Amino acid sequence: MLDNNVRYLQLAFNDDLRLARAILPRIVPDPRIMIEAGTPFVKREGMAGLRLLARSWPGIVVADIKVSDGALGEVDMAAQAGAKAVTALGLAPVETLRLFVERCKQYGILSMIDMLGVEEPLQVLRPLYTQPDVVVIHRGRDEESNRNKMIRYRQINRIRSKYDVFISAAGGVDLREARSAVFNGANIVVVNVVKQNDPWGGITIDEDITAISTKFLETIS
């Protein structure tokens, strides 16, 4: 589903379905663009919202549901709603992560383990019977306000030295950060689609999202 020779742009929708439906038609379909149903979006809109998002985008739709328990049922719900990728928290119990990766594999969808709040990702990955498709190196929204908190790119080489996985970089990514992410080995850069007054970084909804998306793709290619 993913190609090691390609760099991907993941556009994260964290508001409501109304906003997503207004913006999606302005994005030119491209196999390098993934659409994320962000955690706040899923909490607002549920599986019905995820289903409508999946029907509206021809490529990969990521359900950022951050599974922390009950992996089988949660992956079932997301996959049956049309998600082609699902996230779990690296802080979840190892039993949950093992079930999560296996269930995603059964559905033929991408398993993504989000290392938000994890100091040593390798300690999360070592006990797994099967590695996830994607490891997400993530600086959280609240962490963006702390200038001393950076996306920890040094973890990428440490992970890659042990495991053949794709790496996603998330957390206030702009064009400059996207360039750094790819330079440091990330396969996927996650960019939030945000409102004008939102306190975190990303593409604002009043920008020319087609032009900005093209700039991001050019930057990471």
Q: What is the mean pLDDT of the chain?
A: 93
Please list the ranges in the chain whose pLDDT falls under 50.
Answer: none
First to last CA, the chain: 18
Q: pLDDT tens digit string along 51-61?
A: 999 999 999 99
In angstroms, the CA 89 to CA 144 distance is 19
CATH: 3.30.160.100, 3.40.190.10, 3.20.20.70, 3.30.43.10. Which one for 8-220?
3.20.20.70
Q: What is the pLDDT of residue 162?
A: 96
In angstroms, the CA 24 to CA 108 distance is 25
Nearest to 134 by CA among 180, 158, 101, 181: 101
Domain ranges of the chain: 8-220
In angstroms, the CA 52 to CA 105 distance is 23
Residues 6+ apart with CB under 8 A from 68: 88, 89, 91, 92, 96
**pTM of the model as a whole:** 0.94
In angstroms, the CA 124 to CA 115 distance is 9
Q: pLDDT tens digit string along 31-48?
A: 999 999 999 999 999 999
Q: pLDDT tens digit string along 137-146?
A: 987 675 665 6
What are the Cα distances from residue 88, in Å, to 30, 67, 146, 202? 26, 4, 25, 23
- The answer to whether the beta carbons of residues 44 and 65 sit under 8 Å apart is no
Report which DSSP code applies to 144: G
Say which amino acid occupies 87: T
- Range 208-221 burial, b when 16+ CB lie within 10 A, else e: ebeebbeebbebbe
| Run of H or E including 193 | strand 188-194
Q: What is the pLDDT of residue 197?
A: 77
Only one residue has tokens 């033929």, namely 108
